[in-house]
Structure 1
């Protein structure tokens, strides 16, 4: 059985994520979907991983507020709704924590024999690819695109939700329904 790994923050599943997840699932029999930034206090690299002077923790992304609006549990539900909504059986995937900021721990969450699928939009994508290769994963780059070629970002969708602009067309129907029924739309309005 071919196993693969998709990974990301998934701080709101949008249709760009759907493209990525389906491209990953197309390449394997069983897909592990790794959610990074499960714990906001552990969402930093030490400087040795960030190729900078050792001055304490270093964020790998912007710390714009709010950077952690959804819990691991909420993101897991969004991923499940998305994949099942796309016709993928729950028996063909698992959603797991993915501690990308503590790279030696990854082997405890996903099999190192599985193919690691990545997409590259920026320097972080390049660095992440190199990091996974150094850890011994077989990395497959699905595509390289500029940031301007992205479908959207979770930040854009969250900003639209907060400012009462149309956003539902940017996310899978099951995710929109989950966000509305669970009260998470209201939570974002208050951030």
Structure 2
């Protein structure tokens, strides 16, 4: 990902990304968000949807200067994500910070070799950012137990942020350090 500073360059990337970029810049922090992203395509692409655009479940990361330093399009879509497309190939997205090498993926991706295991085993990240809408399912897929076990088993820090929707068995969770 090119280090684009949306805060300084205006709304070319849209008002939400501009706001996130400025939030990072104005507070000198990293900001991570999950959002929809669309990419135009044309009829020369046989997989191009009829409306001429792909829509992705996307994570973005802005650095303390407001630069976009990572963008990840979710590859392993959960069955309810019919509004999204997935990229042709899984993406292994990393970025460097003064406090380590980070990787990022979303929710259901944690259950698959790509990108989750690849980020740790091949790309040697020490921390994974993990935006999620995780439904706690007993007995094996409760968020806190599963995510902490994954972090310990992989030997990485997992910074997890879950949505809070009790009616869907989604509860807030915290980070897991190995």
Q: Judge same fold: TM > 0.5, yes or no.
A: no
TM-score normalised by the chain length of structure 2: 0.32
